[in-house]
């Protein structure tokens, strides 16, 4: 049956949206006052566990459960989602005695849980319930009950989970972030679990991870001329060439900007590079964070720099473009 489209004005559309948000916000305002001994118990159970948090729920509770499991895992609490139906067909084998079960059901009467609860009890796996029914079988089986009950769903028919699903999400976030703070999980820990994200790039990537190496390093000997430097600048396209002794120590640097200024002052391509190079020149330590290197390049108003190791030997080079390509800045 095709959906019927009824005439409706813009003000009415906005009103429907505002009414839903107002109802959901109203129900959510009750949650802080419900955090008490059960919330503390839930946190203590998870903090004490040597295993994982196994999150489970079906329907909309399952969808939100997946998000809660992901939030826990990414903020320092090992966790995974287990679908209740799949649990009854083999996935329950993933649960171990040292784990904690976080079971989500607004009614607390999901039939799949009726079979799972005694099995978890036999394994001595602690149960935390997120439910709107404190007198349900799920609540009675749990060591901690997180109350997400509502007076009214924002759905006008009272059928689609709206206010209740929002409360579930908020309670899961409260649990995940409380545990994160209790564990003193900081931005560096977060970056390690999000290495592909922008924060991971900023906090984990070092200069040595993004620098140019080998033949990509522009370098010439102190016996070279400006012409030799120009060829090396053209070959690598870095905008910078290093003048190094036979032990690979940097004696000075010469940039494409230096070349232009030299020629404008009637210098020649046959000039000795040692007479026109900048000495000693700026350099970057290999173990600096890449974001720190970018800041220093900007602070010194330069676009490229050599990279040295702890023995002050040239081992690489990079410019601002290399850093941007790596997700820095």
pLDDT digits (tens, 9 = 90+) for 4-31: 677 888 999 999 999 999 999 999 999 9
Q: Would the pLDDT of 266 be above 60? A: yes
Mean pLDDT along residues 99-124: 93
Q: How confident is the model at residue 244 (pLDDT cuts 50, 70, 90)?
A: very high
310 is in an annotated binding site: no
Indicate the pTM of the whole model.
Answer: 0.66
Lowest mean pLDDT among 97-101, 155-159, 210-214, 310-314: 155-159
Give pLDDT, residue 1. Answer: 46
**Contacts of 192-198 spanning 24+ positions with Cβ under 8 A:** 193/73, 193/74, 193/76, 194/74, 198/327
Domains recognised in the chain with CATH numbers? 18-185 (3.40.50.10490), 207-325 (3.10.580.10)
Give one word for 53, left, alpha or beta, with left for phi > 0 and alpha for psi -120 to 50: beta
DSSP one-letter code for 286: T
Distances 203 to 191, 197, 211 between C-alpha atoms, Å: 7, 10, 16
Query: What pLDDT does residue 281 have?
Result: 83
């Amino acid at each position: 049956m095709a959906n019927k489209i009824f005439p409706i004005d813009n003000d009415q559309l906005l009103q429907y949206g505002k009414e839903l948000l107002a109802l959901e916000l109203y129900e959510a305002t009750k949650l802080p006052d419900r955090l008490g001994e059960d919330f503390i118990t839930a946190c203590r159970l998870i903090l004490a566990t040597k295993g994982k948090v196994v999150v489970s729920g079906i329907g909309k509770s399952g969808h939100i459960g997946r998000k809660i499991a992901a939030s826990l895992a990414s903020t320092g609490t090992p966790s995974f989602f287990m679908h209740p139906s799949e649990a009854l067909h083999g996935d329950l084998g993933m649960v171990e005695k040292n784990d904690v079960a976080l079971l989500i059901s607004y009614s607390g009467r999901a039939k799949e849980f009726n079979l799972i609860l005694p099995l978890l009890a036999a394994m001595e796996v602690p149960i935390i319930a997120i439910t709107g029914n404190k007198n349900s079988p799920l609540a009675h089986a749990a060591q901690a009950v997180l109350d997400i009950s509502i007076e009214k769903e924002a759905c006008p028919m009272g059928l689609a989970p709206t206010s209740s699903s929002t409360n579930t999400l908020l309670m899961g976030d409260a649990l995940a972030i409380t545990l994160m703070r209790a564990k003193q999980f900081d931005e560096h820990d977060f970056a390690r679990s999000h290495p592909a994200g922008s924060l991971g790039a900023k906090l984990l990537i070092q200069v040595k991870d993004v620098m140019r190496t080998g033949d990509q390093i522009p370098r010439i000997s102190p016996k070279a001329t400006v012409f030799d430097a120009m060829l090396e600048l053209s070959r690598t396209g870095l905008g910078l060439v290093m003048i190094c002794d036979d032990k690979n120590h940097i004696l000075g640097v010469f940039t494409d900007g230096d070349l232009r200024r030299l020629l404008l002052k009637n210098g020649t391509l046959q000039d000795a590079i040692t007479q026109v190079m900048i000495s000693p020149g700026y350099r970057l330590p290999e173990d600096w964070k890449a974001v720190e290197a970018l800041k220093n390049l900007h602070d010194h108003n330069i676009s490229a720099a050599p990279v040295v190791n702890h023995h002050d030997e040239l081992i690489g080079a990079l410019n601002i473009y290399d850093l941007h390509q790596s997700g820095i800045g």
